[in-house]
């Protein structure tokens, strides 16, 4: 097994009649089982680069290796059948049913009927398509469903590599977010080598393990993990492309579960009031959190604690501010902003999982990404 599934070496593409090359001397390694996003302003050659990988565009010079093998040495039809291809306009065949569309590559590979049917059913299940929809024509489906079929069709022959050209560019933002989440979940299971072209930096940092930021003419400006890219842009161009709110974008990459555990000013109902008063003094908190059987039970204001004989008799205000270990820090921050206690409580499958504070988020952002 080679580490790199796809390796671009000094790749250049010069289109006929054009002064400047569309892509010039681009070298890039795509690790196996990882998702790499190609992003950049229009004219940066990201789509041309993608199309060179499955040879819809032939490079002027340079090389593409797939699994260590020169792509130009393989018969083009065979090469393409081993690479899933998803495009923004989907390009489903309007005259074929959903299941016929999905079966396109297996049919070309002459799989037998039974195996094809089995595979179609499996993919429908994987992408959340209903059996009833398999007999429909593409025009009868919504945009989001069509793109799911497009992905199913690309995955039909189980190719190790998947190329996606702005796959979610044509659907509305809500569906786009859902499709991105589905892609992440799918990738969690399938571990394909994915190259995805996008013009949306939020999409790139969300779905990709590595982001390649290209400038006009296919010049690679930076190739890094999303957090590195956002935290330390290599130059002014990258910084400008990422936008003013790049630190905020980083928040969307990190999860509450990744933070070090912090219990916060929280005690069990059975604890002594003196212990509570000491804790509130140390934490300089206006609120005391109470748990019962390891479940969060509510907040009590400090002045009540000061005069209480026992903690369990105090009237509690139930927390509105809750997050889960899977919530992003961006979501946690929103929750904190809207909470009276300035703290978000982590609900870890019903159990009290600690708290999140703004201070914690700030120090996490300050930490250099690994």
Binding site for another protein (CB under 8 A): 54, 56, 76-81, 85, 87-96, 104-105, 108, 136-137, 139-140, 150, 153-154
Return the number of the residue (67 or 268) whose C-beta is nearest another protein.
Answer: 67
* Short-list 133, 121, 234, 226, CA closest to 184: 226
From 48, 40, 47, 38, select the one nearest 15 (Cα to Cα): 48
Measured from the CB of residue 226, what is the shortest distance to another protein in angstroms?
A: 27
Beta bridge partners of 64: 8
Q: Return the number of the residue (137 or 237) whose C-beta is nearest another protein.
A: 137
| Minimum CB–partner distance for residue 84 and another protein (Å) | 8
Q: Which is nearer to another protein, 141 or 212 (CB)?
A: 141
User: 262 with 359: CB under 8 angstroms?
Assistant: no
**Min separation Cβ 225 and another protein, Å:** 29
What is d(CA 328, CA 253) in angstroms, rounded to the nearest whole number? 7
Query: Is the distance from CB of 179 to CB of 168 less than 8 angstroms?
Result: yes
**Minimum distance between the CB of residue 140 and another protein, rounded to whole angstroms?**
5
| Of 312, 317, 308, 363, nearest in space to 340 by CA | 317
Q: How far is the CB of 134 from another protein (least distance, A)?
A: 14
Q: What is d(CA 34, CA 18) in angstroms, rounded to the nearest whole number?
A: 34
Cβ-count burial of 143 within 10 angstroms (0-12 exposed, 13-18 middle, 19+ buried)?
middle
Sheet with 351-357: strands ordered across = 322-323, 343-348, 351-357
Helix (H) or strand (E) segment spanning residue 334: helix 329-337
Q: Which is nearer to another protein, 80 or 316 (CB)?
A: 80
- Return the number of the residue (133 or 339) whose C-beta is nearest another protein: 133
- Least distance to another protein, CB of residue 47, Å: 11
State the minimum distance, in angstroms, from the CB of residue 138 to another protein: 8
Query: Judged by CB, which is closer to another protein: 103, or 186?
Result: 103
Closest CB to another protein among 44 and 90? 90
Quote the least distance from Cβ 206 to another protein, whole Å: 25
CB 67 within 8 A of CB 19: no
| 153 or 206: CB nearest another protein | 153
The two three-digit tokens of residue 337, written as one number: 């902003």
Which string of DSSP letters, residue by residue, matches 43-84? TSSHHHHHHHHTTSS--SEEEEEETTEEGGGS-HHHHHHTEE
* Residue 66 contacts residue 109 (beta carbons within 8 Å): no
Q: Which one, 81 or 206, has the nearer CB to another protein?
A: 81
Q: Could you tell me the smallest distance in angstroms from the CB atom of residue 162 to another protein?
A: 12
């Amino acid at each position: 097994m080679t580490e790199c599934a796809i390796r671009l070496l000094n790749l250049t593409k010069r289109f006929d009649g054009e002064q400047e090359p569309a892509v010039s001397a681009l070298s890039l390694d795509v690790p196996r089982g990882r998702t790499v996003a190609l992003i950049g302003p229009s004219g940066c050659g990201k789509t041309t680069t993608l199309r060179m990988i499955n040879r819809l565009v032939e490079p002027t010079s340079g090389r593409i290796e797939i699994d260590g093998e020169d792509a130009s040495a393989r018969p083009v039809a065979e090469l393409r059948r081993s690479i899933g291809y998803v495009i923004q306009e989907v390009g489903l065949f309007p005259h074929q049913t959903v299941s016929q569309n999905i079966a396109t590559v297996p049919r070309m590979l002459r799989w037998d009927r039974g195996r094809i049917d089995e595979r179609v059913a499996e993919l429908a299940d994987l992408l959340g398509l209903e059996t009833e929809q398999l007999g429909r024509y593409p025009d009868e489906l919504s945009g989001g469903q069509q793109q799911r079929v497009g992905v199913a069709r690309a995955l039909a022959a189980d190719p190790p590599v998947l190329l996606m050209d702005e796959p979610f560019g044509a659907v509305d933002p809500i569906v786009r977010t859902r499709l991105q989440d589905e892609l992440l979940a799918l990738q969690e299971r399938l571990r394909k080598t994915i190259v995805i072209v996008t013009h949306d930096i939020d999409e790139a940092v969300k779905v990709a393990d590595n982001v390649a930021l290209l400038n006009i003419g296919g010049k690679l400006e930076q190739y890094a993990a999303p957090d590195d890219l956002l935290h330390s842009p290599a130059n002014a161009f990258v910084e400008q492309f990422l936008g003013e709110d790049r630190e905020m974008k980083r928040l969307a990459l990190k999860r509450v579960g990744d933070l070090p555990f912090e219990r916060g000013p929280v005690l069990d109902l059975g604890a002594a009031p003196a212990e509570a008063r000491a804790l509130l003094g140390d934490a300089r908190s206006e609120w005391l959190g109470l748990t019962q059987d390891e479940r969060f039970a509510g907040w009590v204001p400090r002045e009540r604690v000061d005069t209480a004989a026992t903690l369990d008799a105090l009237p509690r205000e139930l927390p509105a501010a809750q997050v889960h270990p899977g919530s992003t820090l961006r979501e946690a921050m929103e929750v904190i902003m809207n909470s009276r206690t300035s703290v978000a409580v982590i609900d870890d499958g019903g159990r009290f999982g600690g708290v999140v504070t703004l201070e914690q988020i700030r120090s996490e952002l300050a930490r250099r990404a690994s």
